[in-house]
Amino acid sequence: MAAFVGASSAIQTSAKTMAQVSSLSTSTFVARKSTVARKASNAASASDKITMLQIGTTLEDWLYNNKIEHKLGKTTRAIFTACKEIAYKIRTASCDKMACFNDFGDEQLAIDLLADKALFDNLTASGVVATASSEEVPVEKPITPGGAYSVAFDPLDGSSIIDTNFSVGTIFGVWPGSKLTGVTGRQIVCAGLAVYGPRTTVTLAIEGVDHAYEFLLIDDFSGRHGSWVLTKCFSGVSEGKLFAPGNLRAVNDNKGYAALVQFYKDNKYQLRYTGGMVPDVNQILVKGKGVFCNPESPTAKAKLRVLYEVAPIGYVMEKAGAKSSDGKQSVLDIPINSTEVRSQVCVGSKLEVERFEKMVGVEMYSPAY
């Protein structure tokens, strides 16, 4: 009997030891795998592990968990609601060679005007937005007296390519107070870009929360249909051979830009360019590498407005660990003295933006401020 008990004890001890070894081996494997992943991408950081626990969190819960100021949260939710409406209107639009339209009562309205209306309606309904301004009609429009925030937006970036069924988007920036001029991007408290493609997503950056975050619109007729849920955290943009060159006509009389494009070609960079700023910038976040640039020249002037496009995207990219520049400085430092201020721009990984500053710079750039 004693022998049996001893044997039984030995078996239990052996099993316990094997379990410890197995556990140790598994832990070692996981640790080694984690180490390799961290080396493979700058995005694999401690913040990503924390974020993984939040994947699937609704927008409302995410704002609450991050203690976002109440009125800023209402502003943000109003914008997301508008983006949901815009996504539906785009999916149900009919297009010809000139424009896309959507039935609205007894009349058809251009889809970009419907997007514009959706944003104004939802910002007004929030009751906390003092002023709003759209690139469609670039003036500051008072909405709510005593409102806490002001919002500038490009309701449908890429509207010229929507008829081809390419991805398009919405860009927005939120400033405190009631003014959208006499400011810079440094005062932005929230910004984002919505992508209307095979999926509808909004990448959001907000004051008080590190990094930028992607939210997905659930569109599967499940119990969460219509909800925005967290899917990604963007915390770094690495070096990589991917480029999206805007305003290519400028190579004809901007020698620096011509040399930069030739550099990309000679060094076998991947060309990924759709003609829409939102999808072309969004791919840099998703891929975690690359550069988007849109310089000017004497005959191909900068078209991108700082208030509606350049500053909000610069804010998102810098919060996501990327770099931005107008050829000399961060785009967040460009004075926005009027709604018409335009700028050349480059966003992406640190070394690629520095290459833009060195090769293109501001020699052919005539800032409108």
Reported pTM: 0.84
Q: Which two three-digit tokens encode residue 91?
A: 């999916």
d(Cα 65, Cα 140) in Å, to the nearest integer?
33
pLDDT of residue 365: 85
Q: Which two three-digit tokens encode residue 257?
A: 């830009």
pLDDT of residue 17: 41
- How many Cα atoms within 13 Å fall on the side-chain side of residue 238? 13
CA distances from 158 to 103, 171, 174, 314, 336 (A): 21, 11, 21, 18, 23
pLDDT of residue 96: 66
Rounded mean pLDDT for each run of 10 residues along the chain, 369 residues in total = 42 42 38 40 45 78 96 98 95 72 59 93 98 96 98 92 90 98 98 97 97 95 88 96 96 97 98 94 97 96 96 98 97 97 97 98 83
CB 284 within 8 A of CB 324: no
pLDDT of residue 97: 57
Find where tokens 């840099």 sit: 284
In this structure, which amino acid lies at residue 62? W
pLDDT of residue 308: 98
pLDDT of residue 98: 62
Distance of CA 156 to the CA centre of its chain: 14
pLDDT of residue 143: 97
Number of H helices, E strands in the chain: 9, 16
pLDDT of residue 36: 36
Q: Which two three-digit tokens encode residue 340?
A: 């018409």
